[in-house]
Structure formats: C-alpha cells, structure tokens
Amino acid sequence: DIQMTQSPSTLSASVGDRVIITCRASQSSSRWLAWYQQKPGKAPKLLIYQASSLQDGVPSRFSGSGSGTEFTLTISSLQPDDFASYYCQQYHSHPYTFGEGTKLEIK
C-alpha cells in the first residue's frame, strides 16, 4: 500500500497569508493525487485533481504541484472561508489512501 504523509498536521495562519501543505507518498503515485477540503460536519470537497488541475468552481488562490512522491497544496492568500482541514489522496494504486490531514487554524 502507498502511505501518504502530510505536513504539518496543524497550521496556524492569518487572513492574507500564503500557506503550503506538503504530502509525501511512500512510493510514486505519478500525478494521481487529489486534494480535498473538509469543514466540520460536512463531506470533503474536491479542490485539485491530477496533482495540479483546479476543479471547476474552486478559487484560483488554490494551486497544486508535484509528481512522483512529493506534492504541495498552496493557498496564495488565505481567506476566512479557507480555515478547514485538508487531505491529500493518491489514486494511483488500490487502496487509494489518504493523508492524515492538515488542520488550518486562525492565528
């Protein structure tokens, strides 16, 4: 199984900050990597697919990059609505594992 390691697990930031969340895979997942945002009590929301493609309707302040084993999610200028948890997921090989998550908190 491919293990996904996210860092940091918690991130404190302010509105307007640029933040980067990292996801590392234990073996190559090529570019089969998605990022999701989840708010308390809600289902996850797809932000990025195939490592860097922005899902329709997602603000352009979100971007993804990377391939192989190293991936990043960048939020260029944090907005109040962005404080949530974020998860990466590889879908290169079954089981399609998730990272442990990053909780983005208001500083």
Tell me which residues touch another protein (CB under 8 A). 1, 32, 34, 36, 38, 43-46, 49-50, 55, 87, 89, 91, 94-101
Residue (17 or 92) nearer to another protein, CB:
92
Q: How distant is the alpha carbon of residue 16 from its chain centre?
A: 18
Half-sphere exposure (CA, 13 Å, Cβ side) for 73?
Answer: 30
**What is the dihedral sign for C-alpha 84, 86, 74, 23?**
positive
Burial class (CB in 10 A: 0-12, 13-18, 19+), 101: middle
Residue (17 or 96) nearer to another protein, CB:
96
Least Cβ distance, residue 81 to another protein (angstroms): 18
Residue (68 or 101) nearer to another protein, CB:
101
Least Cβ distance, residue 42 to another protein (angstroms): 8
